[in-house]
Amino acid sequence: MLRLWRRTGPLLRIVAGVAVVGLVAAGVWWFGIRDASASDATAPTTRTVAASLTTMQKVVSGTGTIAPAVQEDVSFEVSGTVTAVLVATGQTVTAGQTLATVDTLQLNADLLQAQATLASAKAKLSDATDQSDGSSSAKAQIASAQAQVDVAQSQVDAAQEAMAGATLTAPVAGLLTAVDLEVGDAVTGSSSGGDGQNPTGSDTSTAQFTIVGTDAWQVEVSVSDADVANLEVGDQAEVTPDGATDPVFGTIASIGLLSTSSQGVAAYPVTVDLTPGQEGLHDGVSADVDLVYERRTDVLTVPSLAVTTTDGKSTVTTVDADGKQTTVEVTTGETSGNLTEITSGLAEGDEVVLAVFTPGGNRDGQQGEEGGPQFQGNFPEGFQGGPPPEGFTGQSFPGGPTNG
């Protein structure tokens, strides 16, 4: 073997020496440093969480669309020609503010005629009363005259109301989202078929003004027949508009009595009034709604992953200040999300084991087999502690003698 070594060239000797040094270093790492590192890496890691008080609630969830709670369609209830339009779309108005006027020439004439008729009827009633002799005929004349006075009075009241209606005012405060009226338009009020809220004019079949309140909002949710029985008017609601991270709050204002059917399932409309003064609300925005029908505060809970239940018996593993672990039997209540209520067996602040795992272990939490890759082949004589350099496998080195 020594002769073989002497017959090798300088380059081959350098390559072999480097290979030997590398093998020795690999052996030191594999059998020394790696074992110490592996021992540290496979040490069990324990995560603990303190039992704490929280609020648990039960909800019915759904989706709806945010809409203003106040939306008024306003139109003239009298007939006439528009003489003034004092507001424009996009303007904010106050309750009682004048929106538009119509001419009062005919309205004033109607009022004067009604007043004259009333005066005449009152005169006839006075004469019948003065001339009455107490007979049945005289009493009948008085009753007839009184009826004419009553009719005439109602006509005067209607004419006065019509005169007041010549000036259209905002019934509520809010934003004008539509103004469908111009000076010179002829309008036909409720006396010609309108209803005051949505009358039909000669120039338009839509409301002349639309006022939307911006201080009050609501959302309607469809709730199944099985869930609606849990809800009551006044229950709190949490509403999260699309794109928002934090909810806004409200209360259930009404629960519809008439159901709708979707794929054979009865559902009822539930209207939620949102608390005034909350920002970030816009008409037509979709929202997720949680209707809270039960809420309990100061409930002792732990993460559900900390609870083990076997044969109906629930336990947790506690850790004291010295790191000692103890298995404790507990009584559980309800669950909410990833939390479980603990009704007995723990106190607030008790540390419980949430998870125990071994880094680098297999799926069962056990370490893999000891040892590393196995090298095959034989060492040249005199070399120990690693695999042979490349070429010492019965093959010849390039430019050198064969191993033999």
| Cα-based torsion angle of the residue sequence 22, 24, 26, 30 in order, rounded to the nearest 10 degrees | 180
The pLDDT assigned to 15 comes to: 60
Place of tokens 């029908």: 293
Q: Give me the pLDDT at residue 198, please.
A: 40
Question: Would the pTM of this model clear 0.75, i.e. be above it?
Answer: no
Please tell me the predicted confidence (pLDDT) of residue 43: 55
Residue 96, H or E segment: none
List % helix, strand, coil for the chain (3-state, nearest 5).
Answer: 25, 35, 40
Q: Residue 16, by phi and psi: left (phi above 0), alpha (psi -120 to 50) or beta?
A: alpha
Number of H helices, E strands in the chain: 6, 21
Return d(Cα 113, Cα 284) in angstroms, integer.
Answer: 50
- DSSP bridge partners of 63: 288
The mean per-residue pLDDT over the stretch 77-94 comes to 91
Can you give the pLDDT at residue 203? 40
Grade residue 391 by pLDDT with cuts at 50, 70 and 90.
very low
Percent share of the chain, pLDDT over 70: 72
Helices 136-165 and 105-130 sit at what angle, rounded to 10 degrees? Answer: 160
What's residue 382's pLDDT? Answer: 43
List pLDDT tens digits, range 332-390: 988 887 899 999 999 999 999 986 555 555 444 444 444 444 334 444 444 444 444 44
Which residue's entry shows tokens 């609020």?
Answer: 55
pLDDT at 257 over 90: no
Q: Is 293 left (phi over 0), alpha (psi -120 to 50) or beta?
A: alpha
What does the pLDDT read at residue 215? Answer: 80
Answer yes or no: are the C-beta atoms of 340 and 309 closer than 8 Å: no
Average pLDDT in the 382-401 region? 43
Tell me the average pLDDT of the chain. 79
Q: What CA–CA distance (Å, rounded) separates 219 from 231?
A: 16
At position 234, the amino acid (one-letter code) is G
Higher pLDDT, 35 or 392: 35
Q: HSE-up of 7 (CA within 13 Å, CB side)?
A: 11
Between residues 275 and 394, the one the model is more confident about: 275
Cα–Cα distance between 176 and 169 in angstroms, integer? 12
Q: Is the pLDDT of residue 202 over 70?
A: no
Angstrom distance (rounded) from CA 14 to CA 228: 87
Residue 24 binned pLDDT confidence (cut-offs 50, 70, 90): low
Cβ–Cβ under 8 Å, residues 3 and 394: no
The answer to whether residue 162 scores a pLDDT higher than 60 is: yes
172-199: average pLDDT: 72
Q: 54: how many CB neighbours lie within 10 A of its CB?
A: 14
What pLDDT is recorded for position 13?
66
Helices (H), 166-308: 225-228
Average pLDDT rounded to a whole number, residues 215-237: 90
Does pLDDT of 87 surpass 60?
yes
Average pLDDT rounded to a whole number, residues 223-241:
91
Residue type, 206: T
Residues facing residue 336 across a β-bridge: 339
pLDDT digits (tens, 9 = 90+) for 56-84: 888 889 999 999 888 889 999 898 999 99
DSSP 226-268: HHHTT--TT-EEEEEETT-SS-EEEEEEEE-SS-EEETTEEEE
Q: What's the average model confidence in pLDDT over 138-142?
A: 89
